Amino acid sequence: MMRQRKLFGALMAACLWLMSAPAWPQEVAGTIASASGAVSVTQGGRVQRAQAGMKLLAGDRIATGPGGHTEIKLRDDTLLAMGPDCRMRISRFRFDPKTNAGSMLLTVIKGALRVTTGLIGQRSPDAVQIRTMLGTIGISGAQFIVESGESN
C-alpha cells in the first residue's frame, strides 16, 4: 500500500513537471503573403487578424469573411489562395529544405482554396493531401482548386 502511494506521488509529480515545462517551438509552416477584407488566424486558441508577414504553424486555422481573400506561401513554395467565406486548417506540415522532403495535410472545412504545389508536391505528390468534409484528395498536378461546404 505504501509503495503504491509513493508510485502515485511520483507519477503526479512527473505529470505536473511535464505540464509546467515550456512547449517546444513548432516549425513554421509558412506566412501570410497578403490579406484583404476579413481574414483571421486562430493560433493556439487565440484569434487574431491576419496580416502580411504573419507566420503560420501546423494546427493554425485560417478563415476569410464574406469579402475576405488571402494568399499564403508555405515554406516549400506551395501557394494557397483562399476566397471569401473560406475555412482551412494547416493540419500537418513538415519540410526539410536540405532534401526538399516533407508532407502536408490541409483541411478545407468550407469555401474555395486554390493550390499551386511547391517542392513537396513536385518531389512526392503523394505527400500532399487535401481533406474535405467528404474525403481526402491526393494530388497529381501542379495546380488545382478545392471547394468544400455544406451543399458540396
Counts of helices then strands in the chain (DSSP H, E):
2, 12
pLDDT(23) > 60? no
Backbone dihedral angles phi then psi of residue 25, each to the nearest 5 degrees: -65, 140
Structural domains for the chain = 26-148 (2.60.120)
pLDDT(131) > 70? yes
DSSP state of 125: G
pTM over the 0.85 mark: no
User: 486562430: which residue's cell?
Assistant: 42
Q: What is the pLDDT of residue 13?
A: 36
Q: Which three cell numbers stand for residue 150?
A: 455544406
DSSP state of 102: E
Tell me what the mean pLDDT of segment 8-16 comes to.
41
Is 91 exposed, middle or buried (CB count within 10 Å of its CB: 0-12, 13-18, 19+)? middle
Q: What is the pLDDT of residue 50?
A: 97
Task: Yes or no: say if 64 and 36 are a contact pair by the CB < 8 Å rule.
Answer: no
Q: Which three cell numbers stand for residue 80?
A: 494557397
What tens digit of pLDDT does each residue of 49-103 get? 999 999 999 999 999 999 999 999 999 999 999 999 999 999 999 999 999 999 9
Task: Yes or no: say if 90 and 60 are a contact pair by the CB < 8 Å rule.
Answer: yes
DSSP state of 15: H
Q: What is the pLDDT of residue 82?
A: 95
